[in-house]
Structure 1
Amino acid sequence: MSDDKKPDDELAGTEQPFVSHLIELRDRLLRAALAVMICFGVLAFFPGPGALYDLLAAPLVAHLPAGSKLIATNVISPFMVPLKITLLAGFFVALPYVLYQVWAFVAPGLYSHEKRLVMPLVISSTVLFFAGVAFCYFFVFGKVFTFIQSFAPKSITAAPDIEAYLSFVMSMFIAFGAAFEVPVIVVVIVRMGLITVEKLREFRGYFIVVAFIVAAVLTPPDVVSQLSLAIPMCLLYELGLWAAGYFVKYSKAPDETGESTSA
């Protein structure tokens, strides 16, 4: 009889922890979604969807010919596009809290030395993503639109569609935000033991080639935007090499530290 009950005994107690993890995950997701919606609601009242879209379109409008405006080719675009911009802005504002919820869910399963690494990475990845978006908005957009307008024939009146502009902005923000995460990626792969800092230094020349290929694929086919993405990636790669050596030592387990000292 005892042998027949053995399989049930091995599974005893495993269902409840799994359900509790699912409940915690649900609660974390609901809190993150609620934070995004609260930020969305606040931004919808002030400064408002229209003002947010005008702010987003300002770099392009500043480089259009006098009297030119963006157009809407879809009937509901003047309503939907500003709402999408507001939702995107709400997500950006709530991003630190969203990442905190991710951290709070993962943290209980980490060792103390691993926790020392995760929180700085969460903060630095958020800052770097915002830095990439800001660099794209304040610097790259102005250079790209100036370059494009310089090639536009005099017989053409530029009147970009607002949905097409939103798609362009989204792709550029994601490209630059992700590209600025290079230091975080370098630190993570080194800490996981996938590769050493010395090997990454030897790979430096190949990374430069990869950076220009990625820039050519992710950005419009103009030299300005490609250089604006490739050059920061190369500089951030060097920053990642420096940060990897520091963070790996900072997040070592106590036994690893003792072994390295004795060696």
Structure 2
Amino acid sequence: MAKFFGNLHLVLAAGLLLAIVVMFGAHAGLVDANSIFRWLHLFFGITWIGLLYYFNFVQIPTMPSIPAELKPGVSKHIAPSALFFFRWAAAFTVLTGLIVAWLAGYLVQALTLQGPFLLIGIGMWLALIMAANVWFVIWPNQKKALGIVPAEDAAKAKAAATAMIASRTNTLLSLAMLYCMVNFT
């Protein structure tokens, strides 16, 4: 059992297989593209927002108390890996969300904030702003701050501050975005 749970890829494969069994079993084999993309949207969204909250509630507040000799463990190994999943989860959350809205026939109405699609449209725009923040503000600045790309110490410090502000902005926006997403009917 320890060998199985020690292998993340095996656990994910088994989890995916279980999800497929539940999907097809619960719907008597009548699973459509929309339900699959809704599930993917939820999976990627949990990954994205979970990592956003990890960065803001755990990593950023804890870093000042970590001894200097241990900080490279976070900045050279943990943070780059977490940022990889963070930015791709953001991209796939947005992509699958747009696909769900398109398949359900409300993409244009939501993006133009029309009538009954106002709430989900606001959520979609907040998510688009947040994803742009991830890719065009947080990630480029984190590459400098973490030393993934060369930068002087002053530039690293400025980049870290900019990335933190953008990340906190996403945390702020996420609260309203999540409300919009779960209250759309």
Shared fold per TM-score greater than 0.5: no
Give the alignment's TM-score, normalised by structure 1: 0.26
- Normalising to structure 2: TM-score of the pair? 0.33
Highest CA radius of gyration, 1 or 2?
A: 1
The structure whose residues are more often helix, as a share, is 2
